[in-house]
Amino acid sequence: MIRFVTTNEGKFREVSALLRARGIQIERLDRPYPEIQADRLDDVVEYAVDSLAAEVDGEFFVDDSGLFIEALGGFPGVYSSFAYRTIGAPGVLRLMEGVESPAARFETVIGLHGQGKTQLVRGACRGAIAREARGSGGFGFDPIFVPEGHGKTFAEMTTDEKNAVSHRGNAARALAAVLQGR
User: pLDDT digits over 65-101, tens only?
Assistant: 999 999 999 999 999 999 999 999 999 999 999 999 9
pLDDT given for residue 123 in this prediction:
98
Task: Please tell me the pTM assigned to this model.
Answer: 0.95
Cβ atoms of 69 and 93 closer than 8 Å: no
User: pLDDT digits over 3-23, tens only?
Assistant: 999 999 999 999 999 999 999
Using the predicted structure, report yes or no on whether residue 37 has a pLDDT greater than 90.
no
CATH fold for domain 2-180: Maf protein (3.90.950)
64 is catalytic: yes
The ranges assigned to domains in the chain are: 2-180
pLDDT given for residue 181 in this prediction:
86
Q: Which of 42, 64, 142, 160 is catalytic?
A: 64
